[in-house]
Structure 1
Amino acid sequence: MKWKNIYRGMAMGVSDVVPGVSGGTIAVLLGFYNQLIAAINGLFTREWKKHLGFLIPLGIGMALAIFSFSRLMDWLLNYYEQPTYYFFIGLIIGILPYLFRESDARNKFKWQHVLLLFVGIFLISRLNISPDEGAIITDRSFSIYLLLFFSGFIASAAMILPGISGSLVLVVIGVYKTVINAVSTFDFTVIIIVGIGIALGIITMSKVIHYFLRNYQTATFALIIGLVIGSVFVIFPGWTSNVTQLTLCIVLFALGLIVAYVLGKVEY
């Protein structure tokens, strides 16, 4: 078991609770994104035990973070929305130097890769966060359970891609508050149904990403970098005229940069 992955999983879990921030982005920051994709795909090979040893601690960390921090993140987004998003913007921008280095962009990027990067920025920046959309769904009919299952499937497919937030997808579909409320109140029926959708979505999407990383690595990295840059535009909460609030935003933005730098140094 790779127990170091518990803290990695916790970092991914906290980010996945926040609309606009991707767990895949955190995996890139912590330097194990390729390992994560390979491990998920490796579950269906003869070396499945080794890959399971990598994924179980990661899953434990994610579960601990989601159940422990869902209420905290909900509170922060309700009362300190701007400073919270500024912290994550700092974190995302701090990731970029490692991404460019990992992809060897200076030597490998050609015009088509730069074009792909801008395509990634454009696609993600078209999304908008509307956290107030979608009330808590109390109906428990079969059609609602089906909606929750497919919401988990689609969100997890986005979750594993750097720059695309699974939580944001849940916001767009209109079930974000329902899922967060289920986690906060331990509504295990909803949690299990969404969880099955998430598991199947991660397995499916990881195979697609694994194929492109293996066969079109530079192009895939170019698109990923574009998605990560684009996510800054998605979660940017605007400016504030309140001096105290602005100071707090700047401090947390700087803290995000520092955290990204330190984690990047440790992991890379």
Structure 2
Amino acid sequence: MIEWRNLYRGGLMGVSDLIPGVSGGTIAVVLGIYQRLIEAINGIFTREWKRHLAFLIPLLVGVLLALFLLSNIVDWLYEHYPNQLQFAFLGLIAGILPMLLKKSDYKKTFGAQHYVLFFLAALLVGSTAIFQEGVADTITTFDGSTYVLLFLSGWLASSAMILPGISGSMLLLIVGMYPTFVYVLSDVVIEALIPLGLGIVFGILIMSKIIKYFLNQYFYQTYALIIGLVFGSIFVIYPGFDPSFLLNVVSVALIFVGMFVAYLLGKLEHQQ
């Protein structure tokens, strides 16, 4: 049976992908579907493929609908009120951390190695904030070498997007491919979309297998890593304050709104 609830879940993931520094994987964790997402991607080529597609298809439709229908609204908000938008997501992500800690039962299951993994993951993600302002030229002519570059960049971006806390768009910014990705997608450059799409598909499939293996074999260590990635993303998303006192008041209020939404989502999604 198709899980129609995934339409709104996919919509939230799609909106998050429009915000620099916010990861769709993080939102999947917020929604409590991260492990199911990994299992569904890995299950496409098994005998239970119909059940997994029933989970993935509405999720994908929700992502695409959000990207096409809400991109202009989110772009307008990000252009005029970037700090307020990011503070809302900051509150959303911060609000789910207590739920993740509770689910991992960290007081009983975490030892020194888990805290080391948490710290390293948080440091890894947090350090990417240094590179947010990177700028590179847009590639508009394509040959064999640029096709390979697009394939590898798609692989890198999709691998990052499936990891909580790591923004695929930010990694593309770091390696200088973000402007080219925007150009290729907005102008629908078919010859570039093919290697890009193949890289995205391979990246998702391979990274999901790696994550599934570690979740199955080292569950609590992997969960410590995931919580660290999510925690580190807070420092990436944090935009600083505005010169305007009123806008700062709105920003602080939106942190609490985001935390309250996270609480509601936690009640809805994690405690079924």
Output the TM-score relative to the length of structure 1.
0.92
Report the counterpart of residue 102 of structure 2 in structure 1: 101
Whole-angstrom CA distance in 1 between matches of 2:192 and 2:3: 30
Number of aligned residues: 268
Alpha carbons 2:142, 2:192 under 8 Å: kept: no
- For structure 1, which segment, 111-120 or 21-30, has the greater mean C-alpha deviation from structure 2 after superposition? 111-120
Q: What RMSD over aligned residues (CA atoms) do the two structures have, in Å?
A: 1.8
Whole-angstrom CA distance in 1 between matches of 2:61 and 2:191: 19
Alpha carbons 2:25, 2:34 under 8 Å: kept: yes
Residues 43-85 of structure 1 deviation map (CA, whole Å, 9 limit, x = unaligned)? 1221112111111111111122222333333333332221121
Report the counterpart of residue 114 of structure 1 in structure 2: 115
Q: 1:141 offset after TM fit, Å?
A: 3.1
Alpha carbons 1:67, 1:183 under 8 Å: kept: no
Whole-angstrom CA distance in 1 between matches of 2:206 and 2:42: 9
Counterpart code for 1:110: G
Counterpart code for 1:171: L
Whole-angstrom CA distance in 2 between matches of 1:218 and 1:167: 28
Report the counterpart of residue 51 of structure 2 in structure 1: 50
- Please state if 1:174 is matched with 2:176: yes
Q: Which structure 2 segments of 5+ residues have no match? A: none
Whole-angstrom CA distance in 1 between matches of 2:68 and 2:191: 15
Whole-angstrom CA distance in 2 between matches of 1:74 and 1:142: 33
Alpha carbons 1:6, 1:58 under 8 Å: kept: yes
- Please state if 1:222 is matched with 2:224: yes
Q: Which structure 1 segments of 5+ residues have no match? A: none
Q: 1:194 offset after TM fit, Å?
A: 2.3
Q: 1:24 offset after TM fit, Å?
A: 0.9
Counterpart code for 1:103: S
- Please state if 1:213 is matched with 2:215: yes
Report the counterpart of residue 39 of structure 2 in structure 1: 38
- For structure 1, which segment, 238-247 or 37-46, has the greater mean C-alpha deviation from structure 2 after superposition? 238-247
Whole-angstrom CA distance in 2 between matches of 1:183 and 1:253: 32
Whole-angstrom CA distance in 2 between matches of 1:69 and 1:180: 16
Once the two structures are superposed, the pairs formed by residues 159-170 of structure 1 within 5 Å of their partners are 159-170=161-172
Alpha carbons 1:149, 1:194 under 8 Å: kept: yes
- Using a 3 Å threshold, how does the CA distance of structure 1 residues 262 and 188 change in structure 2: closer, same or farther? farther
Describe the SS at the equivalent of 2:47: coil
Counterpart code for 1:243: F
Percent identity, please. 49
- For structure 1, which segment, 82-91 or 144-153, has the greater mean C-alpha deviation from structure 2 after superposition? 144-153
Alpha carbons 1:179, 1:190 under 8 Å: kept: no
Counterpart code for 2:156: I
Once the two structures are superposed, the pairs formed by residues 57-68 of structure 1 within 5 Å of their partners are 57-68=58-69
Output the TM-score relative to the length of structure 2.
0.91
Report the counterpart of residue 8 of structure 1 in structure 2: 9
Describe the SS at the equivalent of 1:206: helix
Whole-angstrom CA distance in 1 between matches of 2:209 and 2:18: 24
Whole-angstrom CA distance in 1 between matches of 2:153 and 2:265: 31
Report the counterpart of residue 77 of structure 1 in structure 2: 78
- Using a 3 Å threshold, how does the CA distance of structure 1 residues 68 and 174 change in structure 2: closer, same or farther? farther
- Using a 3 Å threshold, how does the CA distance of structure 1 residues 158 and 209 change in structure 2: closer, same or farther? same
Alpha carbons 2:134, 2:176 under 8 Å: kept: no
Residues 130-175 of structure 1 deviation map (CA, whole Å, 9 limit, x = unaligned)? 2462344322333323222211110111111111111111111222
Whole-angstrom CA distance in 2 between matches of 1:43 and 1:31: 20
